[in-house]
Chain A
Amino acid sequence: MSRSILEMRGITKTFPGVVALNQVDLDVAPGEVHAVVGENGAGKSTLMKILSGAYERDAGSIFLNGQPADISAPADAIRQGIGIVYQDLPLVPSLSVLANIYLGREETGRLGKIDRARHLARFEQLCDSFGIYLPPDSRIRDLSVAERQLVEILKVLDRDAQVIVMDEPTATLDQNAKQALFQTVRQLQAAGKSFIFITHFIDEIFEIADRVTVLKDGCRVDTLEIDQTSPQEVVAMMIGHSPREMFPEKTGAASGRPILQLRGIYIDARIRDFSMTLHQGEILGLTGLVGSGCSDIVNLIIGNLDYDRGAVLLDGAPTRISSPFEAIKHGICLLPSDRKGSGLLLDFELAKNVSLSSIAKISPRQVIQVQRERQIASEFIEKLRIVTPSARQRVRNLSGGNQQKVVLARMLRTDARILILDEPTQGIDVRAKEEIFLLMRQLADQGKAILFISSEFKEIAGVADRGIVLRNGAITAALDRDEISEARLVAAATML
């Protein structure tokens, strides 16, 4: 390795009741893609927040190009060439791409008028030199997640970032968008930019990274050259023992009673002639690229979206579900995909988040039994291995993956017999994924019907008894247990 562009030495950070980072080292070479992996709560995001100046470190030092760097606020990091592509993409939805990129740094002409022409020229030069294309005048709200990510990347490039940090950039991308992002990363890498790349998908790091640093419980386990290690070794380091089989055995009863049926559903021009049958005791996979219509189907089932034609049958009887409240009354429970926006009460403590859907059970006579509520939360903390100092921790302070487990716990507390899991493994580490898959299988074996929506074809193929693939609002494949495979799902979703 040539000289490092970035070195972090002995970084330590504690929160009340948590040692998030303990003497962690990280160095990044020019033009390198350096992956950082670890279980939920291992400290990956915290390390990046220290690098970006969002958190103050308790101990340790940071060097840029061999010189000690003073980073105590986000502005310091930006000035010294560190660019963060935030996962929640903090852009102004109502403003254009151009306006967002130059927000706060507008060049102005006479009378303080914003000099659009200069911005556009700079933007085009930037796009050309890195081989990126984006429509400068589109509003952010009209862009896909992948395109928004590009806006963020352009933003940091325009500020001349040398090291670009991406915290789980692929968590919300489908396969196509992922490949496009990797393409961009490779182009930028060729132009000498360095990346720190956080992900829970181990195969991704073997595709894109040069080296990988493994964190566990706030400590650095090791840093490895990618071509001298294997996915098994990396996972073993992350979890402290050799990995088990990721997917549980498929036991879905083919004979189960049909519980939920959709027949010939049409929604505007978006969904055309969609039918599916969900049986008791099975896991049915539903997949497709972003925009394929999977989320419309979810919203329809839980009564959040109306359909124009077709029928929904519950236990064989036509049923109109017109709100999530009614869906729950019918025993249908959703785990929403966007945990921050539509899953969690971020400023509420963990226990209250867990009990939200089942509070009537904890408080039969209106008055909430707080002790019981916390005790239930503690049980889930143990069962799902949620990393938190206590059941009273604010959910905002949990790591991303642990937040996801909290939403999952809420769903498990309800008596629902139809579970709709929309991207349940988003941001979750390998071990927790394996546990969730096992849990899903156990629930199915107990007689629940599970609809599993995921844009990870591998997970659908590995977990679901049967799979349905959507493309542009129409079913392109319905695969039975002996037909379902990653390759066929990919083919049906992309029509390659």
Chain B
Amino acid sequence: MTMKRGQEAQTRFSALVKALSLQNMAIVYVFIILCIVLALSSDAFLRPRNIINIIRQASVVGVLAIGMTFLLSTAQFDLAVGAQAGFTGVVILLLIPVIGFIPALLSSLGIAVLIGLITGAIITKIGVNSLVTTLGTLSIIKGLLLVLTDGRILRGATPELRWFGSGEILSIPFPVIAFLGLGILGEFVLNYTRYGRYLLAIGGNREASKLAGLRVDEIIISAFVLSSICATIGGIILLGRIYSASPLGGVGTEFIAITAAVLGGTSIFGGEGSVWKTVVAVLLLQVLGNGFNLLNIGANYQELIQGFIMIGAVALYTYQRRRQ
């Protein structure tokens, strides 16, 4: 059955309508509306400084959420990434005096790869599910943090380190570049390349993907490695911004990262994922907090509102999908 030209144009049009539908874009519309409301009610909101600030503040969670989107697309997740970000800071601060700055940085990335490999291998090769496995790794990393820091806050960030928190390229701070850059790269990889297609296919039907000849286990492990690297990048930015590493640093951020990915429409059952909408969702959560400050509502309400937004958005996605 060949398609006639007109029909093809029509298909394309209906595809566009679908792409812009509430079901697909709810989070983006909410974000735009929120920005308009804030812009109207506060002059400060639209100032470049404020915007850059928002993105910078969102960057740690953002980088974690990008990694999480990859994992969720393959129907996996990792509860340890927040703690891992904090762990990165501790490792780097402990290593700098011993082996110097660059080697410390590289070591932290090496450790990230290792953690990703181990987590992924336990989940795929042994078959323990990702909830149990990463609850375990979360506990181990939290434990390591306490052991290594002896419960104290570590200081001693060097100027080079601070650059990762506030250094600028063309007057744009590094965290902003890292966050948005990874966002663009991630979106491209996930939805336009072979590798991304494989991740989504595995999330869609693991057995079918295996029989179609995909190296399912290896690909899932690689997603854990990617997410682990993202966690470490997040950790480096965090360290650069607060100059110190505490035994509780980063812990809990994984939930905001998961919230953001899910808000962005990535399914926790895999097979569907959008990095750019994850980025929008991260910004939405940040703007919400920022807005509360500007409007003097007090940050105490943030988590409360966040919860409602999350359930509301997911209910909307699910409801629309079921009606189809």
A positions within 8 Å CB-CB of B: 16, 302, 304, 323-325, 327-328, 333-334, 336, 341-348, 352, 356-357, 359-360, 363, 366-368, 378, 381-382, 385-388, 390, 392, 410, 414
Chain B residues whose CB sits within 8 angstroms of the CB of A366 once the complex forms: 193-195
- Interface residue tally on B, bucketed by range: 20 to 34
Do A336 and B197 contact each other (CB < 8 Å), given the known contacts A324-B213, A347-B272?
no
Q: Given A336, A347, A367, A381, which contacts B211 in the complex, CB threshold below 8 Å?
A: A336
B193 touching A347 by the CB < 8 A rule?
A: no
| CB-nearest residue of chain A to B215 | A325
B201 touching A345 by the CB < 8 A rule?
A: yes
B192 touching A344 by the CB < 8 A rule?
A: no
Minimum CB–CB distance from B193 to chain A (whole Å) comes to 5
B11 touching A410 by the CB < 8 A rule?
A: no
Chain A residues whose CB sits within 8 angstroms of the CB of B15 once the complex forms: 392
Chain A residues whose CB sits within 8 angstroms of the CB of B200 once the complex forms: 348
Inter-chain CA distance A96–B14, complex, in Å, is 47
Q: Could you list some 6 contacts between A and B, CB below 8 A? A: A304-B211, A342-B211, A348-B271, A366-B194, A378-B3, A392-B15
Q: From DSSP, what is the main secondary structure of chain B's interface residues? A: helix
Inter-chain CA distance A347–B203, complex, in Å, is 11
Inter-chain CA distance A410–B205, complex, in Å, is 15
Minimum CB–CB distance from B195 to chain A (whole Å) comes to 7
The answer, yes or no, to whether B167 is at the interface (CB within 8 Å) is no
Inter-chain CA distance A327–B215, complex, in Å, is 11
The answer, yes or no, to whether B21 is at the interface (CB within 8 Å) is no
Do A360 and B211 contact each other (CB < 8 Å), given the known contacts A346-B205, A378-B3?
no
Chain A residues whose CB sits within 8 angstroms of the CB of B215 once the complex forms: 323, 325
Minimum CB–CB distance from A154 to chain B (whole Å) comes to 30
Inter-chain CA distance A367–B194, complex, in Å, is 6
The answer, yes or no, to whether B212 is at the interface (CB within 8 Å) is yes
B11 touching A356 by the CB < 8 A rule?
A: no
The answer, yes or no, to whether B296 is at the interface (CB within 8 Å) is no
Chain A residues whose CB sits within 8 angstroms of the CB of B201 once the complex forms: 345, 348, 352, 356
Q: Which of B186-227 contact A (CB under 8 A)?
A: 192-195, 197, 200-201, 204-205, 207-215
Can you add 19 more A-B contacts, CB < 8 Å, to A336-B211, A367-B194? A304-B211, A323-B215, A324-B213, A336-B208, A341-B208, A342-B208, A342-B211, A343-B208, A344-B205, A346-B205, A347-B204, A347-B272, A348-B204, A348-B271, A352-B197, A359-B194, A368-B193, A378-B2, A378-B3
Minimum CB–CB distance from B29 to chain A (whole Å) comes to 23
Do A368 and B211 contact each other (CB < 8 Å), given the known contacts A347-B271, A359-B197?
no
The answer, yes or no, to whether B1 is at the interface (CB within 8 Å) is yes
Q: Which of B264-288 contact A (CB under 8 A)?
A: 271-272
Chain A residues whose CB sits within 8 angstroms of the CB of B205 once the complex forms: 341-342, 344-346
Chain A residues whose CB sits within 8 angstroms of the CB of B214 once the complex forms: 325, 356
Q: Given B3, B193, B208, which contacts A345 in the complex, CB threshold below 8 Å?
A: B208
